[in-house]
Structure formats: structure tokens, C-alpha cells
Amino acid sequence: MSESPTETIEQIDSPIRSPFIEHLGIQFFRLGAGGVEVRLPVTPELLNSAAMVHGGVYATLADCALAAAIHGQVPPGQMVVTLDLSCRYLRAARAGVLRATARAVHVGRRTAVAEGEIWVDDVMQVKASGSFMIVPRAAT
């Protein structure tokens, strides 16, 4: 079960923006103590040929959650980019809402590390960790 099942969860604007995230419909929520929760309903388009959630969907959701957990701790005008992403696939969902929880483990001046999990109901699907480089935000 997630570490924060009874906390009040507040939906927030995406701390990381991209057309890809918007296309998928990923939603971001704030958890206490600097954590985030990211949700994505399972739809037929997200399934592989075995009718299970595609591994790339899990990796995308983990990457978004880990980056969002770090984002609130970097200085204004900075952003994070993924250096390394590790996903340990434990189970495969066929339906439901994927719920990724993540928290920053270390945030330095140039790099950061985060850990998280992806759940469906109370069943852990994926354990993830990643390292990120902190860089100036590109002008838009």
C-alpha cells in the first residue's frame, strides 16, 4: 500500500509541461511532505498485445512523477531532465487507474534523485527510481 493513503490530496497544475503529457491526460496531485501523486486511467490505447499496460506507459508515468517530486525543490528558472530511470516491473494491470507516488531523495545544485511506486488499487505494479540533472529552463 502507498505510504500516504489517508493524506489529503490536492490536484495541482502540471509542474512539468509538454504536449505529450497533455495528450496522455496525466493528472498531478500534491501529497504532504513534498511528495506527488500522478494518475492515469488505463484505456485500451495503453495496452500491449497481451492486453496489459505497456511497459513504456509505466516508464512514462514514473518519469513524470519522479520529475514532479523534484521540481518543487529546484530554484525558479530551473527545470529537471532525466539522466537515468530504473523501473522494476512487479505486476501488470489490465484496467483501473495507474497511481504513481514519488518523493525526492536528494536535491543538490546540479543533480537530484527521486524514488516512487506505481499502484493500481492497493497493488504495487512498479518500483521506480531516477536521477535528474538540474538545468536552466528553456525560453518558451
Report angle CA 137, 58, 100 to the nearest 5 degrees.
Answer: 75
**pLDDT confidence bin for 88, thresholds 50/70/90:** very high
Where residue 5 falls among pLDDT bands split at 50, 70, 90? very low
Edge-first strand listing for the sheet containing 10-12: 10-12, 27-30, 36-41, 97-107, 111-120, 123-136, 78-89
Q: What is the pTM of this model?
A: 0.87
Q: What is the mean pLDDT of the chain?
A: 88
Select the more confidently predicted residue: 48 or 3. Answer: 48
Which domains are delineated in the chain?
10-136 (3.10.129.10)
Determine the average pLDDT of the residues in 78-82. Answer: 93
Distance CA 124, CA 114 (A): 17
pLDDT beyond 60 at 37: yes
